[in-house]
Structure 1
Amino acid sequence: MGGTSHTEVVQVVYVPTLISAKDLITIFFAIHSPTHGGSKLQYQSVLYYSGEDQLSAFKEVSKAHEEKTGLKVVTRTSKEMEFYQAEDKHVNFYNKNGPSDYSCKSITNKINGLKKELPGLF
């Protein structure tokens, strides 16, 4: 949000017969901590959903995550809104700029964790 009042998001279009909303949200939680953030921080965790099935999946994954970690999920939910494409310099940022020390370690660790949690996807 910063000084622009915009929310930085990633739009995910998926085929429910190939991957469930529950699995997508599990992946989201694994690569982006749903327990960090809050209204005073620039980067907030939010899930925009397009149907009640997605909201139900979010609630189910959130409850399981809280029970597993003992931490409160602070990810907000909101009905899907109009999506605006990012400026070119932000699109495919990782692919365009290459890995940094942070992204290499962080992404590699998160992917390895996902492989253990959702082995059927890899």
Structure 2
Amino acid sequence: MKPETITLAGGCFWCLEAVYEHVDGVLGVESGYSNGHAERPSYEQVCRGDTGHAEVVRVRFDAARITLREVLEIFFAIHDPTTRDRQGHDIGPQYRSGIYWHDAAHEAVAREVWAEANAAHGGRVVTELEPERNYWRAEDYHQHYFANHPQQGYCAAVVAPKVEKFRRTFRSRWRG
């Protein structure tokens, strides 16, 4: 088995990471920054909007247990792909929606699932589709943030409801 990887931006990386860490078939999730212009960006630079990077998660998965299509269906269900540079109260280009692929086969699946989501949302999906470029791993304190800080204010108010929505909506994929 060779793990596959897709990089996803859907607002704050803590939310996406917290969900994908519970998805059956996902082998690992890493928070980072992608598709900007600066080399080795810091969290502070990305938050200021200085780098052009999006907050992302790299999702490593076992394609024999979960398909890329399923990974992307979860992605479109756990964030709002119709708001440009925003998820809830998080506003700025670092919170944009994006799918960043690592190979041509993933590009084809991403475009297909994007088109289906766009149709389902009345043509309003703003999720960008691009190859991953200029990725940089987020600082250690961002890794497994929700698992390590479930009572922190943002986690309790924003992340926990997304995890619960995933658990209810995708019961067969939940790995608790």
| TM-score, with structure 2 as normaliser | 0.56
- 94-103 or 4-13: which moved more? 94-103
Residue type of the alignment partner of 1:97: H
Answer yes or no: is the 8 Å Cα contact 1:31–1:107 preserved in 2: no
How many pairs does the alignment contain?
Answer: 121
Once residues 140 and 50 of structure 2 are traced to their aligned partners in structure 1, the CA distance between those partners, rounded to angstroms, is 20
1:30-109 paired onto structure 2 within 5 Å: 30-38=77-85, 41-42=92-93, 43-100=95-152, 103-104=155-156, 106-107=158-159, 109=161
Q: Which runs of 5+ in 1 are unaligned?
A: none
Are 1:66 and 1:72, in contact at CA under 8 Å, matched by a contact in 2?
yes
Given residue 64 of structure 2, which amino acid in structure 1 is its aligned partner? Answer: T
CA distance in 1, matches of 2:146, 2:114: 28
Question: Structure 1: which 4+ aligned runs deviate by more than 3 Å?
Answer: 99-120
For residues 62 and 110 of structure 2, the distance between their equivalents in structure 1, rounded to whole angstroms, comes to 17
The one of 4, 14, 22 aligned to 2:69: 22
Give the drift of 1:112: 5.1
Q: Distance in 1 between matches of 2:160 and 2:150?
A: 14
Structure 2 residue runs of 5 or longer lacking an equivalent are 1-45, 86-90
**Between structures 1 and 2, the one with greater helix share:** 1
Task: Point out which structure has higher relative CO (alpha carbons under 8 A, 6+ apart).
Answer: 2
- 1:44-99, CA deviations, whole angstroms, 9 ceiling, x for partnerless residues? 11111012222222222222222223242111111122432211222222122224
